[in-house]
């Protein structure tokens, strides 16, 4: 379904949609993640939208209008709980805008026969670009050099930053995003290794059967694996020590995959060369324990955010939902 741009629409006007005749009534949709007014307007062309991006608004909408919702749009870090699903007896479809869906209770959805879709493929290039930006910034010490320049410090007084190229990049999670990161790494003459639950047969890169063995081999360790209980603190003190004082860590996946306390300790002790993080265990609160660590580059979970990526994600949600209500398979099904 092609989406045409509309003028921005206020949140209040979306919540006060005029009643429609029953035969043309739009399905009721609850949106839990932040969206720009123009994107809300695009979705509101097709659905009766209730917008609840804050915890208080979310609780109110579920309690007040839960029985009416046939679809929910959320993101992986916000999710949708079993209790909320139970409060929505008409719910048929839950979609995550991004690829992640770790906090959507998929077991409850499966039990209820609720379809689940995601935004797989809509922001892969954007995330891969950002992963390389974080790697370049930390390896080449761009933020520190920027600060030094503003303070009038010339290069002779600064530590040398190593080449990025000609090294080994290890990727934890060689899904669609991981493969795009690998493509970019090849452009920097990097040798690529990876760890998955099982080897892939469609890539030429070297497979490692554990994160530890990958970290021992790699100069750079890029985290691109899904979040959740199975991957919580997968990158811990032993893995960071295996990566070593000349090694660099980049995480564009989920904050829970990296043990933040272990990372802070490794950076302060010089056991790790540097890190670039777009995600944290504490988010949306900043990782204050990393603020005074040497050579760490931080961004506020924006790796998958660009005008192009957000529009593609909104478009894919609309198409997923259109297909569901038309009785067709989702373009990006989870369940």
Tell me which of 11, 206, 268, 301 is the catalytic residue.
301
Q: Binning pLDDT at 50, 70 and 90, where does residue 157 land?
A: very high
How much is the mean pLDDT over the chain? 92
In degrees and rounded to multiples of 5, residue 267 shows phi and psi of -65, -45
Catalytic residue check, 283: yes
Q: What is the pLDDT of residues 62-81, one digit of tens each?
A: 999 999 999 999 999 899 99
Tell me which of 168, 283, 289, 322 is the catalytic residue.
283
Task: Flag the least confident range among 4-18, 49-63, 238-252.
Answer: 4-18
The pLDDT score that the predictor gives to residue 228 is 85
> Rounded to whole angstroms, how far apart are CA atoms 206 and 214?
10
Q: Mapping DSSP to helix (H, G, I), strand (E, B) and coil, where does residue 72 land?
A: strand
Reply yes or no on whether the pLDDT at 15 is more than 80: no
302: its two tokens: 């924006």
Tell me which of 50, 254, 323, 324 is the catalytic residue.
254
Reply yes or no on whether the pLDDT at 18 is more than 50: no
CATH superfamily of the domain spanning 124-298: NAD(P)-binding Rossmann-like Domain (3.40.50.720)
Strands 168-172 and 191-195: parallel
82 vs 22, which has greater pLDDT? 82
Q: In sequence order, which residues have a C-beta less than 8 Å from that of residue 19 and are 6 or more positions away?
A: none
pTM: 0.85
The pLDDT score that the predictor gives to residue 24 is 60
% residues pLDDT > 90 (the chain): 89
Reply yes or no on whether the pLDDT at 16 is more than 50: no
The pLDDT score that the predictor gives to residue 10 is 38
The domain ranges of the chain are: 11-122+307-325, 124-298
Burial 227-261 (b: 16+ CB within 10 A, else e): beeebeebbbeebbbbbbeebbbbbbbbbbbbbbe
Q: What is the pLDDT of residues 279-313, one digit of tens each?
A: 999 998 999 999 999 999 999 999 999 999 999 99
CATH class of 11-122+307-325: alpha beta
Reply yes or no on whether the pLDDT at 140 is more than 50: yes
Which residue is associated with the tokens 């998955």? 196
Catalytic residue check, 254: yes
């Amino acid at each position: 379904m092609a989406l045409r741009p509309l003028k921005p629409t206020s949140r209040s006007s979306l919540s006060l949609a005029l009643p429609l005749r029953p035969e043309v009534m739009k399905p009721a949709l609850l949106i839990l993640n932040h969206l720009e007014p123009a994107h809300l307007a695009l979705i509101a062309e097709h659905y009766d939208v209730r917008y609840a991006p804050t915890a208080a608004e979310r609780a109110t909408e579920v309690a007040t209008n839960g029985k009416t919702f046939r679809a929910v749009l959320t993101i992986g870090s916000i999710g949708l709980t079993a209790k909320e699903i139970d409060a929505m007896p008409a719910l048929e479809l839950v979609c995550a805008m991004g690829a992640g869906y770790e906090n959507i209770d998929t077991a409850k959805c499966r039990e209820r026969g609720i379809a689940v879709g995601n935004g797989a493929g809509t922001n892969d290039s954007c995330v891969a670009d950002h992963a390389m930006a974080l790697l370049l910034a930390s390896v080449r010490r761009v933020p520190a050099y920027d600060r030094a320049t503003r303070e009038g410090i010339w290069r002779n007084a600064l530590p040398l930053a190593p080449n990025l190229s000609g090294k080994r990049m290890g990727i934890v999670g060689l899904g669609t995003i991981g493969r795009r990161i690998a493509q970019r790494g090849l452009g920097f003459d990097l040798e690529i290794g990876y760890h998955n639950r099982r080897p892939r047969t469609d890539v030429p890169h070297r497979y490692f059967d554990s994160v530890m063995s990958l970290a021992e081999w790699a100069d750079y360790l890029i985290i691109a694996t899904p979040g959740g209980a199975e991957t919580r603190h997968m990158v811990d003190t032993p893995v960071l020590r295996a990566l070593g004082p000349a090694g660099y860590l980049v995480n564009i996946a989920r904050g829970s995959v990296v043990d933040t306390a272990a990372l802070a300790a490794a950076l302060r002790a010089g056991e790790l060369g540097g890190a670039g993080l777009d995600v944290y265990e504490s988010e949306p609160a900043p990782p204050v324990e990393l603020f005074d660590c040497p050579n760490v580059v931080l961004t506020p979970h924006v790796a998958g955010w660009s005008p192009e990526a957000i529009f593609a994600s909104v478009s894919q949600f609309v198409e997923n939902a259109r297909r569901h209500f038309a009785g067709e398979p989702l373009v990006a099904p989870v369940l």
